[in-house]
Amino acid sequence: MTELSRRHILTGAAAAAAIVPFAAPSAHAAAPLSGKQAPSFYRSKLGDFEITVVSDGARAIPLPATFVRNISNEQVLAAAEAAYMPKGSIIAPFNPIVVNTGAKLVLIDTGYGPGLGPTVGLLPLTLAAAGIDPKAVDIVLISHMHGDHILGLKTPDGALAFPNAEIKVPAVDWAFWMNDDNMSKAPEGFTKASFGFNRKIFSNLADKVTRYDWGQEVAPGITAVESSGHTPGHTSFVIASGSGRLFFQGDVTNVPELFLRNPDWQVMFDHEPEKAVQTRRRIYDMASAEKILVCGYHFPFPGLGYIEKAGTGYRLVPAAWSPVL
């Protein structure tokens, strides 16, 4: 094959200019730039179920020196740069999902809610674009009680965003985050803020919240799976219909370019970092062996793919996109 050089390209351009005796009139855009992104949702079939990933948006998260506890910040920054992230930060998407079983409409996690910036809290717009009425949601499942999963439970005026839904949270997480003694001992920063978010959302909802246990079928075809470490009660879900299975991992890891490739890295958001590492390896060994479709809450939208072993870690193979169900 002949290699193209800069000289070849310039020669070709000159020849083309010689052929065209006059310059074509310049084109002008007929419409103004939109300046905004469309609401993002993606629908697929799982057996008899319909799965809709409904984006709550994404945000850039700076990489402080403490972002990964057991690795130098230089290594983390280099890994982020190698993954084409913005300099000094990572991009974290937020991917709740809606499961329509035919009998029940189930939302898993609720995003950031209102007031935390223009790039997040987009779930209401996305649900509207997807034709999903919040009043029609029967069950809201919470994978764990961090702010980016629970704050969307309420509207800006404090009303329930899903007024007819039963809210279900992990029993272990509820016992930890709603404990006043734990809150008083929490260090300043992310953990202390997480206690505050839970008080904001659940202080007047205790009698309306169902606490579930691991191994329990929490909705038709949806089983809660223990995946603790990120929080004390962090939960994933196996969604099964017919021969189809989907593993909603929640936050077993967040940015796959960093923590799938390096599962022993201990991110600052993990409550029990060593346990979180053990959970990652256990879950991803299972996912790669069983070749189960995985949905990652913080994976690049729409967050669907397969986990393969790669060296001492893993890699994400994105699921093929389909324009039809």
CB neighbour class for 267 (10 Å; exposed up to 12, middle 13-18, buried from 19): buried
pLDDT of residue 79: 96
Spell out the alpha helix ranges (H) of 23-122.
73-82
- Omega before residue 232 within 30° of 0, cis: no
32 within a domain of the structure (yes/no): no
Q: What is the pLDDT along the chain (325 residues), one digit of tens a residue?
A: 445 555 554 455 445 444 445 555 566 668 889 988 999 999 999 999 999 999 999 999 999 999 999 999 999 999 999 999 999 999 999 999 999 999 999 999 999 998 888 999 999 999 999 999 999 999 999 999 999 999 999 999 999 999 999 999 999 999 999 999 999 999 999 999 999 999 999 999 988 899 999 999 999 999 999 999 999 999 999 999 999 999 999 999 989 999 999 999 999 999 999 999 999 999 999 999 999 999 999 999 999 999 999 999 999 999 999 999 9
CATH code at position 289 = 3.60.15.10
269 within a domain of the structure (yes/no): yes
Q: Tell me the two tokens of residue 295.
A: 């949905």
Q: Tell me the two tokens of residue 42.
A: 């993606």
Q: How many helices (H) and strands (E) does the chain have?
A: 9, 16
26 within a domain of the structure (yes/no): no
Three-state DSSP at 285 gives: helix
Three-state DSSP at 65 gives: coil
For 316, phi and psi rounded to 5 degrees?
-95, 125
71 within a domain of the structure (yes/no): yes
Sign (positive/negative) of CA torsion 71, 248, 196, 183? negative
d(CA 43, CA 54): 9
Contact status, residue 197 vs residue 147, Cβ threshold 8 Å: yes
Domain enclosing residue 305, as ranges: 38-318
18 within a domain of the structure (yes/no): no
Close Cβ partners of 194 (under 8 Å, ≥ 6 residues apart): 145, 146, 147, 177, 186
d(CA 295, CA 21): 56
d(CA 292, CA 282): 14
Closest CA to 290 of 243, 254, 235, 256: 243
pLDDT of residue 169: 98
7 within a domain of the structure (yes/no): no
| Count of structural domains within the chain | 1
pLDDT of residue 8: 54
Close Cβ partners of 313 (under 8 Å, ≥ 6 residues apart): 260, 261, 262, 263
pLDDT of residue 116: 83
178 within a domain of the structure (yes/no): yes
pLDDT of residue 114: 85
205 within a domain of the structure (yes/no): yes
Close Cβ partners of 1 (under 8 Å, ≥ 6 residues apart): none
